[in-house]
């Protein structure tokens, strides 16, 4: 039985990861400050004696004896990470330093949840890991993008200088059950709007693209990366190879919900990437043929069913 620390464990991805790790028979410490996560996401694990919930902020040092660390603590939705940009960059940078210091002390393997946002508004399409990105260092998104880039630097430096056993994954837009209805990212916004019969908010002309990955595929990728051969640090892209415009996403959601909501066009936020799609050949090669398999409509169906339940009971 391994003892595993999941920072940001009460969030969307973290709660799915805790569930998977518990099912595999591990002992899990879930650390969260509940900024965007909630106890609701992990309440079902609270009577499991191998699950421990800790209210803690990763910008403060944390001491525990663990075998593995998944560092997920950071708000991920533009609305939330821009609410307090200084706190966001502190979370990425100081959180990385503290968790790397912990990993160094106890000789734990540590995985960083990085992001496709390190590619900024990419000039290379699709994006391979070798692309250095196109990021505005002083824009509205930079607290998140640059914070995550600096965290990657810290991970590589702790690896090279102190021999810390690191793994870096760059996550592309991932969605699924347990997203917060107020999260603000596009998939949950469109589904909640469609279910409530409210207007669907399209930012810009809706022709910008994203690749949407269902959460189960990502969690499988996390676990394969954590178990990957020693010395393979990444970064490795984890994302779905389908590419959709926001108009196509809206059409699919409206169709699956059977909603008559109208499209409402709103201004495009500053520095919003025009296109994004991962090159996942490295993940396929290094993670035993890993691929993000769930098709958009199948994943949307699951997610719609979840939000339908949440909205009926709230
Ligand atoms: P989320 O907002 O649901 O989860 C983030 C969790 O971190 C929340 O539970 C929040 O309360 C916690 N947190 C935030 N600041 C903290 C702090 N200072 N100390 C302790 N806990 C803190 O978002 P998510 O989608 O689950 O994202 C999880 C991780 O994956 C993030 O690091 C995010 O950057 C990364 N990521 C996610 C996506 C995606 O599409 N879902 C894409 C790229 C990267
Ligand atoms: N740290 C932590 N838990 C630990 C060990 C370290 O939170 O178990 C923090 C520690 O407070 C420090 C940071 O991690 O600020 C970086 O640790 P490192 O050993 O690299 O640096 P130093 O302590 O020498 O500044
Ligand atoms: N978006 C949108 N309507 C919304 C929320 C987002 O059209 O209600 C757009 C947003 O401008 C971006 C895309 O959807 O082009 C994905 O946005 P999200 O915030 O989900 O993720 P990110 O921009 O970080 O990829």
Report the nearest-CA residue for atom 25 of ligand 3.
173
Residue 59, ligand 2, Cβ within 6 A: no
Mean pLDDT of the chain: 97
Residue 146, ligand 1, Cβ within 6 A: no
What does the alpha-carbon distance between residue 225 and residue 248 come to, in Å, rounded to a whole number?
Answer: 31
Ligand 3 midpoint to CA 200 (Å): 12
Write the ipTM: 0.98
What does the alpha-carbon distance between residue 255 and residue 251 come to, in Å, rounded to a whole number?
Answer: 6
Mark whether 214 is an active-site residue: no
| Catalytic residue selected from 70, 119, 144, 214 | 144
What pLDDT was estimated at residue 236? 98
The answer to whether the CB of 108 falls within 8 A of the CB of 68 is yes
Report the nearest-CA residue for atom 37 of ligand 1.
76
Ligand 3 midpoint to CA 167 (Å): 27
What does the alpha-carbon distance between residue 274 and residue 99 come to, in Å, rounded to a whole number?
Answer: 33
What pLDDT was estimated at residue 241? 94
Residue with token string 């178990």: 227
Report the nearest-CA residue for atom 14 of ligand 3.
186
DSSP state, 114?
A: E
Q: What's the pTM?
A: 0.98
What pLDDT was estimated at residue 314? 81
Name the class of domain 3-175+213-240+277-293: alpha beta
Residue 115, ligand 1, Cβ within 6 A: yes
Residue with token string 């593995």: 68
The domain spans of the chain are: 3-175+213-240+277-293
What pLDDT was estimated at residue 166? 98
Residue 172, ligand 2, Cβ within 6 A: no
Averaged pLDDT in 10-residue chunks for the chain of 314 residues: 98 98 98 96 97 98 98 97 97 98 98 98 97 97 98 98 98 97 97 98 98 98 97 97 97 97 97 97 98 98 97 90
């Amino acid at each position: 039985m391994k003892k595993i620390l999941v920072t940001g464990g009460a969030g969307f991805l973290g709660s799915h990861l805790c569930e998977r790790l518990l099912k595999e028979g591990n002992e899990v410490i879930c650390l969260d400050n509940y900024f965007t996560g909630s106890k609701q996401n992990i309440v079902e694990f609270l009577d499991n004696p191998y699950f421990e919930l800790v209210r803690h902020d990763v910008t403060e040092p944390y001491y525990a004896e663990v075998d593995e660390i998944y560092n997920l603590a950071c708000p991920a939705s533009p609305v939330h990470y821009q609410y307090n940009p200084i706190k966001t960059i502190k979370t990425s940078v100081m959180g990385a330093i503290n968790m790397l210091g912990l990993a160094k002390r106890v000789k734990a393997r540590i995985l960083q949840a990085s992001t496709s946002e390190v590619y900024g508004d990419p000039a290379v399409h699709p994006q391979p890991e070798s692309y250095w990105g196109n990021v505005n260092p002083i824009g509205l998104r930079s607290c998140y993008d640059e914070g995550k880039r600096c965290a990657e630097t810290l991970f590589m430096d702790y690896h090279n200088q102190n021999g810390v056993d690191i793994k870096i994954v760059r996550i592309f837009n991932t969605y699924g059950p347990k997203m917060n209805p107020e999260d603000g990212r596009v998939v949950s916004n469109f589904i909640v709007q469609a279910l409530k019969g409210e207007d669907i908010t399209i930012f810009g002309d809706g022709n910008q693209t994203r690749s949407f990955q269902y959460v189960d595929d990502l969690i499988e990728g996390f676990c394969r990366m954590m178990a990957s051969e020693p010395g393979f640090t990444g970064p490795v892209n984890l994302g779905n190879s389908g590419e959709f415009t926001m108009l196509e996403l809206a059409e699919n959601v409206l169709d699956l919900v059977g909603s008559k909501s109208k499209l409402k066009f709103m201004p495009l936020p500053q520095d919003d990437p025009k296109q994004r799609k991962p090159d996942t050949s490295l993940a396929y090669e290094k993670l035993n043929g890993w691929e993000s398999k769930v098709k958009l409509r199948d994943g949307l169906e699951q997610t719609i069913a979840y939000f339908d339940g949440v909205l009926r009971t709230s």
